A and B are shown apart, each in its own frame.
Chain A
Amino acid sequence: MIRRIWTAYTVELIKARRLWFTYIGPVLVVLAVLGAPLLRPIERDGVSDYGFIAYATPVALNLLGLVLLLTYCAGLISSELSGGSIRMVLVRPLRRCEFLAAKLLLGMTYAVVLTVLVGMTSWLLAFTFGELAGVSYGGEVIYTAGQMRNAYLLGMLLSLVPQFAAVAYALMLSTFTRNTGAAIGAAIGLWIVLDTLKHPLRISPYLFSTYLEVPWKVFSNYGEMLDASWLPAVKYGLATSVASFVLFAFIAGCTLSRRNLHA
Chain B
Amino acid sequence: MARCIQTSHLTKSYGATVAVQDLSLELASGEVLGLLGPNGAGKSTTLYMLSGLVPPTSGTVTIFGKDLRKGFLEIASRMGVVVERPSFYNHLSARKNLLLLAMLAGRNVTVDRALDMAGLLPVASKKVGDLSMGMRQRLSLAQAMLTEPELLLLDEPASGLDVESTQEILKLLRRLADEAKVTILFASHMMHEVEALCDRVAILNEGKLLACDATNALLSYDPSHVEVLLDAPEAASKRLVEQDWVEAVNFKPGRLEVRLRSGTSHQLTAFLVNAGYKVTGVIPKRRTLQEYFLKVLNS
Contacts and interface: CB of A to CB of B under 8 A. Distances in A.
A91 B53 contact: yes
A246 to B, nearest CB: 24
A231 interface: no
Contact of B104 (A7, A18, A84, A263): A7
Nearest to A20: B91
Contacts of B104: 7-8, 11, 89, 92-94
A177 to B, nearest CB: 17
A258 B87 CA distance: 21
B96 to A, nearest CB: 8
B7 interface: no
A261 B45 CA distance: 10
A19 interface: yes
Interface residues of B, number: 34
A84 B103 contact: no
B84 interface: yes
A3 B105 CA distance: 12
Contact of B51 (A14, A85, A91): A91
Contact of B87 (A4, A83, A92): A83
A87 B52 contact: no
A85 B77 CA distance: 18
B54 A262 contact: yes
Contacts of A10: 103
Interface in B60-79: 72-74, 76-77, 79
A204 B44 CA distance: 48
B271 interface: no
B191 interface: no
Contacts of A193: none
Given A262-B45, A263-B44, A87 B53 contact: yes
A93 B106 contact: yes
Interface residues of A, number: 28
B140 to A, nearest CB: 8
Contacts of A262: 44-45, 48, 53-54
A149 interface: no
Given A88-B88, A92-B105, A258-B55, A11 B73 contact: no
Contact of A18 (B54, B83, B91, B103): B91
B254 interface: no
Contacts of B230: none
Contacts of A92: 76-77, 101, 104-105
B92 interface: yes
Most central of B53, B74, B89, B104 by chain A CB within 10 Å: B104
Given A88-B143, A91-B76, A261-B54, A15 B87 contact: no
Given A91-B51, A260-B54, A85 B88 contact: yes
B81 A91 contact: yes
Contacts of B3: none
Interface of A: 3-4, 7-8, 10-11, 14-15, 18-19, 83-85, 87-95, 257-258, 260-263
Given A83-B87, A262-B45, 17 more contacts: A10-B103, A11-B103, A18-B92, A83-B90, A84-B87, A85-B88, A87-B86, A88-B88, A88-B101, A89-B101, A90-B53, A261-B48, A261-B53, A261-B54, A262-B54, A263-B44, A263-B84
